[in-house]
Amino acid sequence: MEVLQKICQSILLCTVFIVLCLEASPCFAFTSFVFGDSLVDAGNNDYIFTLSKADSPPYGIDFKASGGRPTGRFTNGRTISDIIGQELGAKSFPPPYLAPDTEASSILRGINYASGASGILDETGFLFIGRVPLREQVNNFEQSRSYMVNVMGERSTREFLKKAIFSITIGSNDVLNYVQPSIPFFGHDKVSPNTFQHFMVSNLTIQLKRLHELGARKFIVVGVGPLGCIPFIRAVNLLPSGHCFGEVNYLIQGYNKKLNGLLDQLNQVLGPEAIFVYANSYDIFMKIIVNYHQYGFKDADAPCCGGYFPPFLCFMGRNTSSPLCGDRSKYVFWDAYHPTEAANVIIAKRLLDGDESITSPINIRELYNYNS
């Protein structure tokens, strides 16, 4: 009976694979595996006990695929990874790993492993209780890979993964945790900024190499954006309109420089069979904030949802709701931490087709077409 069940399961898995391939033209047109934090979380935190959730209105209000219902994305619409996928021909979005029955669709679409409040470092985001750190996200991918091997075999799995794009958007929460005041009984003495940057890079290196060992060959690694300009940091530091917290941004620029150097080294050692693309989100987003009128925005300071003062909650209840702007397309920030879909569209398109000052050594569209 057990043998019969295994045979039936294998037939079912292969049938799913064939059907999914027939739905795509061509098969494997675009597959991505997404790792990161709330900037790209597609709903994984909906399935864990955590204080970091985006599972209630008005989150997702402009997400057409759900009819405006929350999906666990920490914005009003699509994330940057959603938009890039669509621009490269994806017909649907990689499902969250923790959602039921995700594995069956992973063969074609890829999977989203990202988790809000997570970081490169395991301890990052502990105040939110539940989150999936990058190390665990890579562990989850390892489980997905085993599933693919069961369906396609080792050789076909390796060929499949060679063509997929692996995007890693993480580090913001590590920085936010570092710059916030230590919490009594929980905190500890901070290391120097330079040591902290090296610690982030070294831990990220471990996970990038693990992904490479598991078959990843096309990487897009996104640098940390100018967190010194987000509404949360501006508000808690009592900064006037139009000002950013320079100390935080300086820390981030130092980290991004080290990250870029790391990716250059990995390209030299592991290329050309593998390629690591650095995405300079910092400069893109800073240009949007400084020149927001040129991009069609009317506000680059306040969030559209939740207000500019603590506790920065964005919610819509029966009896009471947080402030919500009238025209979401005119705001750079959706809530106190995250960009609106309108800002995400600009960032995504710059990453897709930007020059080497934005993405290096090639842009994402070139990465998609890259063959070693």
pLDDT digits (tens, 9 = 90+) for 177-236: 999 876 554 456 789 999 999 999 999 999 999 999 999 999 999 999 999 999 999 999
Domains with residue ranges and CATH for the chain: 102-111+133-369 (3.40.50)
What percentage of the chain carries pLDDT values higher than 70? 90
In this prediction the pTM is 0.92
**How confident is the model at residue 308, as a pLDDT?**
75
- List the catalytic residue out of 32, 38, 144, 167: 38
- Classify 164 in phi/psi space as left (phi over 0), alpha (psi -120 to 50) or beta: beta
- List the catalytic residue out of 41, 46, 82, 335: 335
List pLDDT tens digits, range 10-61. Answer: 444 444 444 444 343 344 468 999 999 999 999 999 999 999 999 999 999 9
Our answer to whether residue 55 is catalytic in this structure is no
Our answer to whether residue 38 is catalytic in this structure is yes
On whether the CB atoms of residues 354 and 339 are closer than 8 A, the answer is: no
- List the catalytic residue out of 62, 81, 281, 338: 338
**How confident is the model at residue 184, as a pLDDT?**
53
Mean pLDDT of the chain: 90
Report which residue type is found at 73: R
d(CA 17, CA 33): 17
- CB under 8 Å to 325, separation ≥6 — which residues? 299, 304, 305, 331
**How confident is the model at residue 5, as a pLDDT?**
44
Report which residue type is found at 210: R
Our answer to whether residue 335 is catalytic in this structure is yes
Element of type H or E holding 268: helix 246-270
